Amino acid sequence: KNQVEQSPQSLIILEGKNCTLQCNYTVSPFSNLRWYKQDTGRGPVSLTIMTFSENTKSNGRYTATLDADTKQSSLHITASQLSDSASYICVVSARSGNTPLVFGKGTRLSVIA
Amino acid sequence: DAGVIQSPRHEVTEMGQEVTLRCKPISGHNSLFWYRQTMMRGLELLIYFNNNVPIDDSGMPEDRFSAKMPNASFSTLKIQPSEPRDSAVYFCASSLERNTGELFFGEGSRLTVL
């Protein structure tokens, strides 16, 4: 069964600290993996996309990694800011099938001063 | 482009009433998705359309839910009759490519059924 598991479920960190969010998946055949950021009361917005051949990709203070062998991805946030407080959702795409997108339940990050 | 537009943003209704949620996708996108989000279950796919044709509606909870896409610029999700357990945030999203494309979400419609 295609599944995406995220950990931790929630996280509280101090402003300026770093953190890492995890995503494990069993989706096959794999096409790509996206991390979305969802601010409270808003729709999710794509942060980054990882394809099979990519190991690391950065977008400002956000760095995503992908290990296609172990089917794991991480999202590392450097020097966190209060505005990073949001839910981060991992979404894995399959290359075929009628329902190609599999969503994780997200990690709720709270950055406090 | 204004992005994906959903209406209403908030809806409070009584059990048994009909609810209609509306969505205008981004112009040129050929895939449209309806999701439901709750704290317990996260984002769940209800149905998606490709070129206005429903492709997968296996996520639609039961016959009380129906969705239509009469043209490329408009879709509706209807719940009739509504029940308290339908209370959730309903998101519409559109994409250029159904399998691998980035999803562009609307701001959501928060539904409360009393």
Q: Which of A42, A100, A106 sits opposite B42 (nearest CB)?
A: A106
In angstroms, the separation between the Cα of residue B111 and the nearest Cα of chain A is 13
Least confident of A27-31, B3-7, B79-83: A27-31
User: What is the phi/psi pair of residue B76, to 5°?
Assistant: -130, 150
* Mean pLDDT for the stretch of residues B51-55: 93
pLDDT of residue B62: 83
Residue B1 pLDDT exceeds 70: no
Q: Which helix (H) or strand (E) holds B77?
A: strand B74-79
In angstroms, the separation between the Cα of residue B4 and the nearest Cα of chain A is 10
Q: Which residue has the tokens 């009909």?
A: B18
Residue B52 pLDDT exceeds 70: yes
* Mean pLDDT for the stretch of residues A65-87: 96
Q: Do residues A32 and A50 make contact, with C-beta atoms less than 8 angstroms apart? A: yes
CB contact under 8 A, B106 and A104: no
CB contact under 8 A, B56 and A95: no
> pLDDT tier at B2 (50, 70, 90 boundaries)?
confident
Q: What is the DSSP letter of B101?
A: P
* Mean pLDDT for the stretch of residues B73-100: 92
- Mean pLDDT over all residues of chain A? 93
What Å distances lie between residue A94 and A29, A57, A70, A73, A80, CA to CA? 5, 20, 16, 15, 32
Burial class of residue A111, CB neighbours in 10 A (0-12, 13-18, 19+):
buried
> pLDDT tier at B111 (50, 70, 90 boundaries)?
very high
What Å distances lie between residue B89 and A19, A22, B20, CA to CA? 28, 25, 13
Token couple for A84 = 């990073």
Distance between CA A32 and CA A93 in Å, rounded?
5
Contacts of B108 in chain A (CB under 8 A): 41-43
> pLDDT tier at B82 (50, 70, 90 boundaries)?
very high
* Mean pLDDT for the stretch of residues A17-44: 94
CB contact under 8 A, A43 and B56: no
* Mean pLDDT for the stretch of residues A4-26: 97
Distance between CA A108 and CA B56 in Å, rounded?
29
Nearest CA in chain A to B39: A105
Distance between CA B27 and CA B2 in Å, rounded?
9
Contacts of B4 in chain A (CB under 8 A): 43
What Å distances lie between residue A72 and A4, A9, A64, CA to CA? 10, 16, 11
Amino acid at B85: R
CB contact under 8 A, B100 and A31: yes
In angstroms, the separation between the Cα of residue A17 and the nearest Cα of chain B is 27
pLDDT of residue A58: 93
